[in-house]
Amino acid sequence: MFELIIDHKWLQQKYLVEGMSTSKIAELVGCHRVTMWKKLKSLGLPLRQNERRYTLNERIFQQCDSAEKAYWLGFIMADGYVHKGRHFLAFQLAAKDKGHLRKFNQLISSNAPIGERTIFSFGKECTIAHLTIYSKQLTQDLAQFGVVPNKTGIETMSNIPINYARDFIRGYFDGDGWVSRGKRYILGMASASKVLICDIARWIHCQGISKKLHSVSFKNNCYSINFSGQTAKRLHACLYQDVTVFLERKKDAI
């Protein structure tokens, strides 16, 4: 009887059409409720709020109508990962940025756990913080803003309201930007998407931060823009002045 749960249509009929609870279906097929819950999630069936293992505001990104949402859309564009088949959003950040994931959980009203694990990167051992949010509805809403599975190279900010462009770019910079200090500051951002980097360069020029439209570089299959000296300082001030959501170490970089 347990093999019935492998049948997507049967499970969809019981859970979505007939409205049967996870516990009842688990009892019917002879498995634990948690096992059934995991099966529902793996099949991408929209879990009812009271059936979720962790709380979540699934429609938080139905619209981009606040600076905070725009910021996180930019950050997700840079550092988030969406899985198509299993319908989840995942992050892997340096362990020192674990607190930033707590901020995201607060935004989406989630109590999903933020874990840590050790990995090897470029031959070195390092600890990362990770967070995974399962929701078909959430991933569908993110898609309208270009956050889709295999988004590398096709990223865009075309659906971000212009009045929240600064917040989106700050989020993207916090995820995929850098500041280096030598004889002078250098601030830069990179993406596999030429469209996205060109859009960011145009926005920066329109703010009067750079005297001319900044050129985009291409190296190692990646497009980038770099600003130095006083221009870098002006851009940094523009992105971080009077804002409430940011990655602390990027804000304190200049």
Place of tokens 């009842």: 24
Output the pLDDT for position 96.
96
85 or 66, which is more confident? 66
Domain boundary among 115, 149, 183: 149
Closest CA relative to residue 147, chosen from 202, 89, 64? 89
Strand, helix or coil for residue 178:
strand
Whether 254 has a pLDDT exceeding 60, the answer reads yes
Residue 92 lies in a domain: yes
Residue 161 lies in a domain: no
- β-bridge partners, 225: 189
Task: Specify the CATH number for the domain of residue 177.
Answer: 3.10.28.10
127 or 44, which is more confident? 127
Output the pLDDT for position 214.
75
Residue 57 lies in a domain: no
Helix (H) / strand (E) element for 77: namely helix 67-79
Q: Are residues 212 and 239 in the same domain?
A: yes
Closest CA relative to residue 99, chosen from 58, 131, 59, 133? 131
Residues 6+ apart with CB under 8 A from 245: 67, 68, 71, 72, 103, 167
Query: Cα separation of 97 and 101, whole Å?
Result: 7
Residue 159 lies in a domain: no
**pLDDT tens readout for residues 173-196:** 999 999 998 888 999 999 999 999
Average pLDDT over residues 100-123: 93
Helix (H) / strand (E) element for 240: namely helix 229-240
Query: Cα separation of 110 and 58, whole Å?
Result: 10
Q: Are 137 and 176 in contact (CB under 8 A)?
A: no
Query: Cα separation of 55 and 225, whole Å?
Result: 39
Q: How confident is the model at residue 1 (pLDDT cuts 50, 70, 90)?
A: very low
Query: Cα separation of 88 and 24, whole Å?
Result: 25
Q: Are residues 246 and 173 in the same domain?
A: yes
Output the pLDDT for position 6.
60
Residue 238: CB atoms within 10 A of its CB come to 15
Closest CA relative to residue 188, chosen from 235, 154, 151, 146? 235
Phi, psi of 30 (to 5 degrees): 80, 45
Q: Are 167 and 70 in contact (CB under 8 A)?
A: yes
Q: Are residues 141 and 176 in the same domain?
A: no
Range of the domain at 46: 2-51
Q: Are residues 192 and 240 in the same domain?
A: yes
Whether 152 has a pLDDT exceeding 70, the answer reads yes
Query: Cα separation of 250 and 241, whole Å?
Result: 13
Output the pLDDT for position 24.
84
Q: Are residues 41 and 94 in the same domain?
A: no
Whether 30 has a pLDDT exceeding 90, the answer reads no
Residue 60 lies in a domain: no
The pair of structure tokens assigned to 37 is 């819950």
Domain count within the chain: 3
Output the average pLDDT for the chain: 90
Place of tokens 């249509």: 9
